[in-house]
Structure 1
């Protein structure tokens, strides 16, 4: 009898301990402010995927004459310029972003929720002080202007702070192609050890581009296109940047593709001499599309230009024209504007 009572006492004690442990676990998973439901699962899955895809080997990247070494994937990235922000979001890396800056327009709808989870450090480039306050370990810029001393600092200065800085190569080389964008995507995928995601993104872009290219009609003569970015006394236009490549993919001809620069300031007389049939207006900044159209339509030198006589305009946002994941979207705009 005494033995039976002892067993009962032990079993009662075990039951009480089990109850206390269960209650403690329940309390810890319902702390105020903790992610719950699908949101928490999604964040955990993203982190787990990167860990699974990560390998314990150093990644070395040569980027615009700089040599970057990553002993592990960045954990606190900041993106500067919209097209590179969207590359990160397309690779589902928002969990590793502690800041972003310089949005030209709305992000793509499929990235909206992810984008809203990331702090916006500045409408344009943040100061170095604001940037460093986020304790970043990686900076990713679309344009070289981000890495100036009067913005977040030069690549060399950032390296002194222990921050690797990657500049989107397809936005800096003269005459970039879609393959150069794929190279940037692959580099970022390697840096974060998500190569499989990078290849999936590239395959998806290729598929979309092929579908659009199949709808381009065969033409005997290519349409002459002038890209108007900005400028009153002298127009600022596309020479050999990625928008030039897109115009070529669309089966047309950029009238200033012979200029050995990505962007160039030309003269109105040259525009008249080359007589474009279509004008592509780049939409961004404080000057509206309508204001740009009005300037072109009222410019006395342009009144006999074919595109002006027919009021033949195509509008494309800077974020679409830049070297990023919107390439299929941008090509579709051009093809529709040129042929439909």
Structure 2
């Protein structure tokens, strides 16, 4: 849940528009009817690296190579459990709440348009449930956004769950073998939505959602000013050593899509711990403050305004901050709206 009042000079990012409800579930669609989906890059070319490939035949199951593990789904799951907010919101955006036996681990309140549907889904745990608690819900599928969802103290090993008859899916953006210098592309996020649509027999809903998001992103970028020379630091947390968006995770993807320069784009990985001296040397034009319950945007602003070497930066002195909720920094249905709102926020500061 987000907390902390809006700050003067801080532009708060809005939540995803109602495009997440672009379609409702088609109960008549089955996994056998699912059209093949393939990983794609931003150019639309097929590429297996860091993503997943879903295939099906007219009489066979959906088979997905997901983060190096083959996932075979004979029929659309009826009792899925989602681990992490972005996984939960993808399911809700596709109208699949009636296929959810449980959910766990929110970072923020769910998007308003999903609140009623979310209220119908049992919450197994505020954080990760134990495997025992998970299996008590009798799931036939577990969908996680982070590898930590499948650690021994959570759902457990994916292959072992498969042996128990429980299918699993991990967000392709979080594949453990993803190269640290491989930038995340929005196409990978959309491929995830399409994979989930194939698994749950909701290909039409997934296609409609991706099409709407493509349109929304194209419209936002087309209407934007030229900000290619504007530099941005995306600050997630940390005070002595600030954790910032590096080259290749969701923050880098969002900044790139918005046409902005990430001042730490030369550092590999999704996130990187840097020093305040490095921040001062790179002198960003705008600073994004990630608002999380455990590290609020207000706390970050108080910190940077009192840190020698950083408080003198023009961006700090002039209050050039844009606030984003933590949940927007995880690959999922919020990312396109985050791009649009980042554009609006930065334009409002110029």
Query: Per the shorter chain, which TM-score range?
Result: 0.7 to 0.9
TM-score of the aligned structures, taking structure 1 as reference length = 0.83
2:337 aligned residue: 329
| Displacement after TM superposition at 1:50 (Å) | 2.4
- Alpha-carbon distance, 1:336 to partner: 1.3
Offset of 1:129 from its aligned partner? 1.3
Contact 1:212 1:328 in 2 (8 A): no
For 1:231, which of 238, 246, 255 is the aligned residue? 238
C-alpha distance in 2 between matches for 1:168 and 1:205 = 18
Aligned match of 1:162: 165
Question: Alignment RMSD, CA only?
Answer: 1.7
Distance 1:310 1:52 in 2: 54
Does structure 1 retain, via aligned residues, the 8 Å contact 2:29–2:201?
Answer: no
Is it true that 1:289 corresponds to 2:297 in the alignment? yes
Residues 90-113 of structure 1: per-residue CA shift (max 9 Å, x gap)? 111111100001111111111111
C-alpha distance in structure 2 between counterparts of 1:82 and 1:151, whole Å: 15
Alignment partner, residue 219 of structure 2: 211
User: Whose relative contact order is higher, 1 or 2, with alpha carbons under 8 Å and at least 6 apart?
Assistant: 2
Moved more, 262-271 or 132-141: 262-271
Higher mean C-alpha deviation, range 167-176 or range 262-271: 167-176
| TM value normalised by structure 2 | 0.80
Q: Which has the higher helix share?
A: 1
Higher deviation after alignment, 152-161 or 226-235: 152-161
> 1:88-103, aligned counterparts within 5 Å?
88-103=91-106
Aligned residues: 294
| Higher mean C-alpha deviation, range 254-263 or range 157-166 | 157-166
Identify which of 9, 28, 32 aligns with 1:51. 28
User: What does 1:209-288 correspond to in 2, within 5 Å?
Assistant: 209-219=217-227, 222-239=229-246, 240-288=248-296
- Distance (whole Å) between structure 1 residues aligned to residue 71 and residue 337 of structure 2: 32
1:199 alignment partner, SS class: helix
1:184 is aligned to: 192
Q: Is the 8 A contact 1:50 1:192 kept in 2?
A: no
Distance 1:234 1:287 in 2: 14
- Change in 2 beyond 3 A, CA 1:206/1:116: same
Structure 1: distance between partners of 2:120 and 2:232: 40
Supply the distance in 1 between the matched residues of 2:192 and 2:170 (Cα, whole angstroms).
9
Q: Which runs of 5+ in 2 are unaligned?
A: 1-23, 33-58
Deviates more, 1:302-311 or 1:59-68: 302-311
Distance 2:297 2:270 in 1: 22
Distance in 2, matches of 1:83 and 1:163, equals 20
